[in-house]
């Protein structure tokens, strides 16, 4: 992977990571393309990040190693949404996951992924409508329950980071990630090699792009937002369910049963495309990743979506934008969250790691 950093800078970074126990640096090996030999760098499992994914279906906790690696996952399915219960359950699952790692690995940080608006510098969930949470100090509660520094991430941001760094977007610096899950639609935008956050951490909230003029009233106060038509629950209701089906695989299967020419699928694909056209016009991405329940469109109406994107006056959209499914599977949000956690550690690894080691 190219870092864009000079050799001395890379050497300095590697020695910092190695002294923090996050990587081992092996003997230099000659690369296939000639040139100077490069050291072999391997992540260690000495220090880990724990990630917590909260959604309306329950709580999931993962132990993650540097480099987008998931080492273990445990989940509790429940419709209970009380923050206190969620935090207690996350701490219990983490304790259980750590048993086989006792004496081998140490968790240094917790990152919770939430389907809603967060203020990451305050560790605050400002609003997670599907969880019915308003101003929940989740990071503080998690830190108290686990004894570990904790932080928060918006689900769309975690997904975008994961697919960009470790998934289908590794070769690009401009990626749009759109995810339809139990907690609505989450999105993230990687532009010129950076995650867009905006002034209020609201950048990339594509859930609230208007895709119909007289659509349902959204919790944000507007009508016809993308999330009112294309959340997992909205998709389920649109294709004949009772609006409670959450499984992306099951929704994709039922969308396939209807087929691309069914009027409902045509309407839904048109609404998705209307949102995507706006996004392409504003951000000019290389790749659009449709994740969660939205992968159903790629199997059924992928050609229709890609074809409709071509009906713009932007030549590049016609020729170059790839609309694809994620390659990281169901753990993509944990992978992105672990990247956020390791980035926080790497900003200043020594104090945190020294404290964790009791030295």
Q: Which is nearer to Zn ion, 67 or 129 (CB)?
A: 129
Least separation in angstroms between CB 55 and Zn ion? 19
Give the separation between CA 85 and CA 330, rounded to whole angstroms: 24
Least separation in angstroms between CB 210 and Zn ion? 8
Least separation in angstroms between CB 39 and Zn ion? 49
Sign of the C-alpha dihedral, residues 225, 165, 76, 149?
Answer: negative
Least separation in angstroms between CB 130 and Zn ion? 13
Least separation in angstroms between CB 218 and Zn ion? 3
Give the separation between CA 154 and CA 84, rounded to whole angstroms: 19
Q: Which is nearer to Zn ion, 49 or 211 (CB)?
A: 211
Q: Which is nearer to Zn ion, 234 or 337 (CB)?
A: 234
Q: Which is nearer to Zn ion, 197 or 223 (CB)?
A: 223
Q: Which is nearer to Zn ion, 37 or 216 (CB)?
A: 216
Q: Which is nearer to Zn ion, 218 or 309 (CB)?
A: 218
Main-chain dihedrals φ then ψ at residue 178, nearest 5 degrees: -130, 125
| Contact status, residue 281 vs residue 312, Cβ threshold 8 Å | yes
Q: Which is nearer to Zn ion, 275 or 285 (CB)?
A: 275
Least separation in angstroms between CB 221 and Zn ion? 7
Residues contacting 203, CB < 8 A, separation 6+: 189, 196, 197
Least separation in angstroms between CB 238 and Zn ion? 17
Q: Both tokens of residue 344?
A: 């926080």
| Residue ranges binding Zn ion (CB under 5 A) | 208, 218, 220, 222, 225
Beta bridge partners of 191: 194
């Amino acid at each position: 992977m190219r870092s864009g950093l000079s050799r001395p800078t890379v050497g300095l970074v590697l020695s910092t990571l190695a002294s923090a126990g996050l990587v081992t640096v092996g003997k230099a090996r000659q690369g296939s393309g000639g040139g100077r030999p490069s050291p072999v760098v391997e992540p260690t499992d000495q220090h880990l990040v724990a990630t917590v994914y909260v959604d309306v279906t329950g709580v999931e906790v993962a132990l993650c190693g540097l480099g987008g690696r998931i080492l273990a996952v445990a989940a509790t399915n429940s419709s209970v949404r009380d923050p206190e219960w969620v935090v207690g359950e996350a701490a219990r699952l983490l304790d259980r996951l750590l048993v086989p790692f006792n004496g081998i690995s140490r968790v240094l940080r917790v990152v919770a992924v939430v389907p809603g608006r967060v203020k990451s510098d305050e560790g605050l969930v400002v609003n997670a409508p599907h969880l019915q949470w308003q101003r929940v100090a989740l990071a503080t509660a998690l830190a108290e329950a686990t004894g570990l520094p904790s932080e928060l991430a918006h689900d769309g941001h975690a997904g975008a980071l994961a697919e960009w760094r470790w998934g289908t977007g590794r070769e690009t610096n401009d990626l749009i990630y759109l995810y339809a899950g139990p907690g609505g639609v989450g999105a993230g935008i990687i532009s010129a090699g950076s995650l867009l956050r905006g002034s209020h951490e609201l950048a990339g909230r594509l859930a609230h792009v208007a895709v119909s003029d007289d659509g349902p009233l959204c919790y944000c106060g507007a009508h016809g937002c993308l999330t009112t038509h294309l959340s997992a629950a909205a998709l389920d209701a649109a294709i004949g369910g009772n609006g409670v089906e959450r499984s992306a695989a099951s929704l994709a299967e039922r969308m396939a049963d209807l087929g691309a020419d069914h009027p409902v699928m045509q309407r839904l694909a048109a609404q998705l495309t209307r949102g995507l056209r706006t996004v392409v016009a504003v951000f000019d991405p290389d790749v659009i990743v449709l994740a969660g329940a939205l992968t159903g469109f790629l199997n059924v109406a992928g050609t229709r979506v890609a074809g409709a994107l071509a009906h713009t006056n932007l030549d590049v959209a016609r020729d170059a934008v790839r609309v694809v499914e994620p390659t990281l599977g169901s753990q993509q949000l944990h992978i992105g969250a672990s990247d956020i956690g390791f980035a926080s550690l790497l900003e200043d690894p020594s104090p945190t790691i020294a404290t964790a080691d009791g030295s």
